[in-house]
Chains A and B, each alone.
Chain A
Amino acid sequence: MLEVKDLHVSVDGKEILKGLSLTVNAGEVHAIMGPNGAGKSTLSSVIAGKDGYEVTAGSITFEGRDVLEMEIEERARAGLLLGFQYPVEIPGVKNIYLLKAALNAQRAARGEGEIPAPEFMKLVKEKLAFMKMDPSFLQRAVNEGFSGGEKKRNEILQMLVLEPRLAMLDEIDSGLDIDALKVVAEGVNSLRSEERAVLMVTHYQRLLDYIVPDKVHVLLDGRIVKSGDKDLALELESRGYEWVQEESAA
């Protein structure tokens, strides 16, 4: 599904990713772990198409399409959706409006017509209930005045409505208490299916207790230096990152 090959990325002339390769297949959940500054967030930002990242070498393909050639919104419509670490506030724009516009844009890209209003409301209310969110959320401006936990739930709510093929979650667990983390994890788990994949970027093993990954990768200094199954995450938790560093250096 997603194929990242020998990706080199620079920000302001400084190389952050130094030859990263990664394959994600449909039905899989991947977790990328690593210390601060390893380049974790850079990877998801580059896949989503954020400005300011210069790809100096390598490729990203998604279902056979060259992602780097696609506009930001094209990537989203193709099913690459990013759950932001710091969701942005958009004053005056209601959540419901954003959701509807996004869903209809996706449908239009697939050649489908706009979703009928009753159907849309039914869908959204169902997802809201699943995320244990109050319907009044819909009438509030996007993320404006939301607590950290509310923002993260809102990210997952958008995922549930937009049903991405590949959900990328950037530090989705940061700033969440345990109850909120459970709700968010349930939301992500409900996305799991044979056709879909999840790529999580995280700092802590804690998240992986709730969203159990199929594969765990260690990102150090711009490269994936070790891959394994969920046990690798536990090992990282108990031993830290230094041993991986030493091992890979050896």
Chain B
Amino acid sequence: MATEEMERLVRREYTQGFVTDIESDTVPPGLDESVIAFISQKKGEPQWMLDWRLEAYHQWLKMKTPSWAHLDYPPIDYQAISYYSAPKKPEDRPQSLDEVDPKLLETYEKLGIPLHERAALAGVAVDAVFDSVSVTTTFKEKLAEAGVIFCSISEAIRDYPELVKQYLGSVVPQGDNYFAALNSAVFTDGSFVYVPEGVTCPMELSTYFRINAANTGQFERTLIVCDKRAQVSYLEGCTAPQRDENQLHAAVVELVALEDAYIKYSTVQNWYPGDEDGKGGIYNFVTKRADCRGDRSKVSWTQVETGSAITWKYPSCMLRGKDSVGEFYSVAVTNGRQQADTGTKMIHIGENTKSTIVSKGIAAGRSDQAYRGLVKVGPRARNARNFTQCDSLLIGDRCGAHTFPYQEIGNSTATVEHEATTSKIGEDQLFYCRQRGIAEEDAVNMIVNGFCKDVFQELPMEFAVEAEALLNVTLEGAVG
């Protein structure tokens, strides 16, 4: 679509206040209808999508930022944020690894990131490093053969509008919460996955793709739909430290599992946590929700959260289908001045629904961490089962660990169990390891990794190894 034509279309609808210069690649800070129209137009979206965004925007205007979380940060000026900037051009990026900060490379080394991924992660102009096209093509062919759709959400809006219309916002409605509403209005990109009936996705949607996903920006939108008897394992994020000029991140992830479908969603989040005073770190406000719509469907969330200055995140499952299953396995590590308020919600609606929550929190330095969880059993959820294990480990006497589990049980056939412990890292265990000659820091890592074992074993294999390494890097300097 020609630029003039777009401009004309947009003008027709929004003559009032539409001032943004559409030639530019970046909009000035601030949010109004014209900015949203600009984003939509840049993405070449149809009218219904723009309408949907604007509807979200109007809801957002009426909302207040949530204040219930155990977080302390200065108010965000939403008019000071720029909501669209084009990705960096290849010539502006480092041309080879030699131009990349050696400290960053050292971290990659420690994390055991495969060599061929390091350049891409460091933002080196991809063409200069390896032929990404051929890799992409191989994967795409394999997926196409299986009938799996995996593309950016922008492409999906263009190429699969019916699917997007049917499912977008059906799990996290536009006005669900403050940050979800903001995301709905201004999301710039993200992923779309559709696995057709009876298909098991032939590969983990991970390794290569996570590099490509690195630039999806601050308002990511992900939609994954698993049709009847379909299965997929999706991996988001990366153990490599990620920096971003945009301080505010507000992503929305929606998962839909139909009858007998299984979605496994794994996240490793390592956004920049800020300097030692916590300055400049990413604020990460994420809404993730799965709708286990079909009978016997299953969704499993696994997350390893080590980054961000502020984390606000509660991957949830709506267990609607009979015999549907929700799982949440989480490791959250905070150090320095990081703050995290994270957990899950398991909403039991259908009969015989089952959920498992295993949360391991490690707080070090001057960080503050809270587990916040809700297990709700509705009146029709006969024989619902939940088991929650929620443990916190404290390293040092200046950090905080908090547990806020809500249970709302409205059915006498429900069995809900919650156990939580909070303790410092075991002196006896440390002494034992050191008495075997293991350095204190290594001993701490070893014990912490052991503490997190139940969660790591839920991660895809190669990712688990990286996650352990990531934990060690995150806790550097936490002792001694």
Chain A interfacial positions (CB closer than 8 Å to B): 48-51, 71-73, 75-77, 81-82, 84, 87-93, 97-98, 101-102, 105-106, 109, 141-142, 158, 162
Q: Are B446 and A105 in contact (CB under 8 A)?
A: no
Select B429's contact among A49, A50, A81, A88, beta carbons within 8 Å: A88
A70 CB to nearest B CB, Å = 11
B420 within 8 A of A: no
Q: Are B435 and A105 in contact (CB under 8 A)?
A: no
Q: Are A92 and B442 in contact (CB under 8 A)?
A: no
Q: Are B436 and A81 in contact (CB under 8 A)?
A: yes
Q: Are A73 and B439 in contact (CB under 8 A)?
A: yes
Q: Are B432 and A105 in contact (CB under 8 A)?
A: no
Select A87's contact among B432, B440, B442, B443, beta carbons within 8 Å: B432
Select A141's contact among B427, B434, B450, beta carbons within 8 Å: B450
Q: Are A92 and B437 in contact (CB under 8 A)?
A: no
Q: Are A90 and B432 in contact (CB under 8 A)?
A: yes
CA distance A48 to B433 in the complex (A): 12
Q: Are B426 and A88 in contact (CB under 8 A)?
A: yes
B91: A residues at CB distance < 8 A: none
CA distance A39 to B427 in the complex (A): 21
B431 within 8 A of A: yes
B432: A residues at CB distance < 8 A: 84, 87-88, 90, 142
- For residue B432, which residue of chain A has the nearest CB? A88
Question: Known contacts A105-B438, A162-B436: does B431 contact A51 (CB below 8 Å)?
Answer: yes
Q: Are A76 and B436 in contact (CB under 8 A)?
A: yes
Total count of chain B residues near the partner, CB < 8 A: 24
CA distance A76 to B437 in the complex (A): 5
- For residue A73, which residue of chain B has the nearest CB? B434
Interface of B is mostly: helix
B10 within 8 A of A: no
Most buried by B among A71, A77, A90, A158: A90
- For residue B427, which residue of chain A has the nearest CB? A51
Question: Known contacts A73-B440, A101-B442: does B435 contact A92 (CB below 8 Å)?
Answer: no
Q: Are B428 and A93 in contact (CB under 8 A)?
A: no
Q: Are B450 and A105 in contact (CB under 8 A)?
A: no
| 15 residue pairs bridging A and B, Cβ less than 8 Å apart | A48-B431, A72-B440, A73-B439, A73-B443, A76-B435, A77-B437, A91-B450, A92-B449, A92-B451, A92-B454, A98-B438, A101-B433, A105-B442, A162-B436, A162-B437
- For residue A90, which residue of chain B has the nearest CB? B429
Select A93's contact among B439, B440, B449, B454, beta carbons within 8 Å: B449
B429: A residues at CB distance < 8 A: 88-90
B447 within 8 A of A: yes
A111 CB to nearest B CB, Å = 14
Tally inter-chain residue pairs, CB-CB below 8 A: 86
Query: Which residues of chain B in 433-477 are interfacial with respect to chain A, using CB atoms and an 8 Å cutoff?
Result: 433-440, 442-443, 446-447, 449-454
Most buried by A among B438, B440, B453: B438
Q: Are A98 and B436 in contact (CB under 8 A)?
A: yes
A91: B residues at CB distance < 8 A: 450-451, 453
B434: A residues at CB distance < 8 A: 49, 71-73, 76
A83 CB to nearest B CB, Å = 10
B427: A residues at CB distance < 8 A: 51
CA distance A109 to B439 in the complex (A): 11
B187 CB to nearest A CB, Å = 38
CA distance A90 to B438 in the complex (A): 14
Query: Which residues of chain B in 387-410 are interfacial with respect to chain A, using CB atoms and an 8 Å cutoff?
Result: none
B428: A residues at CB distance < 8 A: 88
B452: A residues at CB distance < 8 A: 92
CA distance A82 to B427 in the complex (A): 16
A162: B residues at CB distance < 8 A: 436-437
Q: Are B438 and A97 in contact (CB under 8 A)?
A: no
Q: Are B453 and A73 in contact (CB under 8 A)?
A: no
Q: Are B439 and A98 in contact (CB under 8 A)?
A: no
B391 CB to nearest A CB, Å = 10
- For residue B442, which residue of chain A has the nearest CB? A101
CA distance A76 to B442 in the complex (A): 14
A106: B residues at CB distance < 8 A: 437
Q: Are B439 and A105 in contact (CB under 8 A)?
A: yes
B449: A residues at CB distance < 8 A: 92-93
Q: Are B426 and A158 in contact (CB under 8 A)?
A: no
CA distance A102 to B433 in the complex (A): 8
CA distance A75 to B431 in the complex (A): 12
B454: A residues at CB distance < 8 A: 92
Given A48-B435, A105-B436: 4 more A-B contacts, CB < 8 Å: A76-B435, A76-B438, A91-B453, A105-B437
CA distance A76 to B429 in the complex (A): 15
